Amino acid sequence: LKHSCQLLPAPAGPFPSCRRRPMAGQFSEGWSGTPMWQLQQDRAEQQRKEQREKEAQAGHVLSIEPEGEAFRSVFFLSRLVDGSFVDSKVRGPRRLARAEAVKDGLELRACCRTVPEGEREAAVRKRCRELQAKRWQPGELPAEDTVVEEASEEPMRQRLAAKPRGTGWQRVGDKDFFKHLHAPMAFDPKKRRYLILDEATNTYSECAPPHEPVENPLAVSASASLVGRSDEDLLDPQRPRTLLLKELVKTGAAMKHPLFFLDQPAACFALFDGVRGGAAVEWCSKHFHTKLLPRLSAHITYWSDAAVKELLTSILEELDAQLLQQPGCCWEGASVAVALALGGRLAVATLGAARALLLPPDGLRQVLGEP
């Protein structure tokens, strides 16, 4: 038998069986040489450090905030729940002197520190209700310039200052900048300041922070009654008109003018009495609220007494100017009385012959609106 044998050329390079294979335990070129157990310990220590820093941002913070010509203590409470902060706020009574607000705040802080963590918010709110009726004596008050900030509160204070106050804020794209949806305001968290937009120049300038509403333990009742000599008087075109806005916040929301920042209760009552006819009083009664609501919603900071006075004055002046331009009303006039309730304050404005009568519990009647 003959066998044929064919020789094949040898492959270039080393034979496959002789090629070098990487070792299973080979390290990458970027390995620092630190053992894995050490890396795990460092990672665990970093996590514990971050947890301690986060826990330091919870607790309680006391601050004294001005409200127009007055002051109010604000006590913040915070706790960690599943890694997230749950914040709550308790606002003390409105005080004319800063020392009184400081005393309120110190009372709330002392109350918070004497009860277990789970009972703190309920205890602080109860103490706050008690302070509503408290009148401090001069000997009980601290110094007017008393500092209420404590070093232990600083981490939480820094966290709270980095987010805008109230609702209605929207982040501008991916920037660290917020704009308000209903007011010409913005918030810069880096500099921790609030800005207001000047529409004439399209520039921002620093302003006061938005007002956070306070619920006052008050009840407001509003109604209207018209008395005439006969039934025909009740249908007289020259009869007085009334405007009742019992819940300004709900009315503003329905008319696309959010008023969530107003102290509660918030209500408005207006009386219009015609002069030389009924067309003018009819027009004024239908247009008063269209000027009140937009002006209120455009100013989400605290409405000081001076600002409320300017608000009502400007509305009455604008009504008077526009009334002269109405074809059927230019020869007529109207007397107006307005009562605006904002929390624990009541502002009364009168124009013409209309008057308001104040009936306090002591029986000493007072006529409002007399020259």
Evaluate if residue 27 carries a pLDDT over 80. Answer: no
Residue-wise pLDDT for 105-125, tens only, equals 999 999 998 988 889 899 999
- Would you say the pTM of this structure is higher than 0.75? no
Evaluate if residue 136 carries a pLDDT over 60. Answer: yes
Query: For a pLDDT cut of 70, what percent of the chain falls above it?
Result: 86
Average pLDDT score over residue span 301-320: 91
Domains of the chain as residue ranges with CATH = 54-144 (no CATH), 163-210 (no CATH), 231-368 (3.60.40.10)
Least confident range from 20-24, 59-63, 125-129, 239-243: namely 20-24
- pLDDT value at residue 9: 56
Residue, of 278 and 194, whose pLDDT is higher: 194
SS (H, E, C) the chain: CCCCCCCCCCCCCCCHHHCCCCCCCCCCCCCCCCCHHHHHHHHHHHHHHHHHHHHHCCEEEEEEEEECCEEEEEEEEEEEECCEEEEEEEECCCECCHHHHHHHHHHHHHHHHCCCHHHHHHHHHHHHHHHCCCCCCHHHCCCCCCCCCCHHHHHHHHHHHCCCCCCCEEECCCCCCEEECCCCEEEECCCCEEEEEECCCCEEEEECCCCCCCECCCCCCCCCCCCCCCHHHHHCCCCCEEEEECCHHHHHHHCCCCCCCCCECEEEEEEEEEECCCHHHHHHHHHHHHHHHHHHHCCCCCCCHHHHHHHHHHHHHHHHHHHCCCCCCCCCEEEEEEEEEECCEEEEEEECCCCEEECCCCCCCEEECCC
Average pLDDT score over residue span 205-231: 80
Measure the CA–CA gap between 192 and 71, rounded to whole angstroms.
Answer: 21
The C-alpha torsion from 192 through 196 and 201 to 203, rounded to 10°, is 10
Residue-wise pLDDT for 268-309, tens only, equals 999 988 777 778 888 888 889 999 999 998 888 889 889 999
Residue-wise pLDDT for 43-78, tens only, equals 888 777 776 766 666 678 899 988 878 899 999 888
Measure the CA–CA gap between 219 and 239, rounded to whole angstroms.
Answer: 29
| Banded pLDDT at 1 (limits 50, 70, 90) | very low
Average pLDDT score over residue span 318-344: 85
Give the residues across from 274 on adjacent strands.
Answer: 334
Q: In what order do the strands lie in the sheet with 59-67?
A: 59-67, 70-81, 84-91
65, 52 in Cβ contact below 8 A?
A: no
Evaluate if residue 16 carries a pLDDT over 70. Answer: no
Evaluate if residue 37 carries a pLDDT over 80. Answer: no
Average pLDDT score over residue span 233-244: 77
| Banded pLDDT at 81 (limits 50, 70, 90) | confident
- pLDDT value at residue 88: 85
- pLDDT value at residue 6: 53
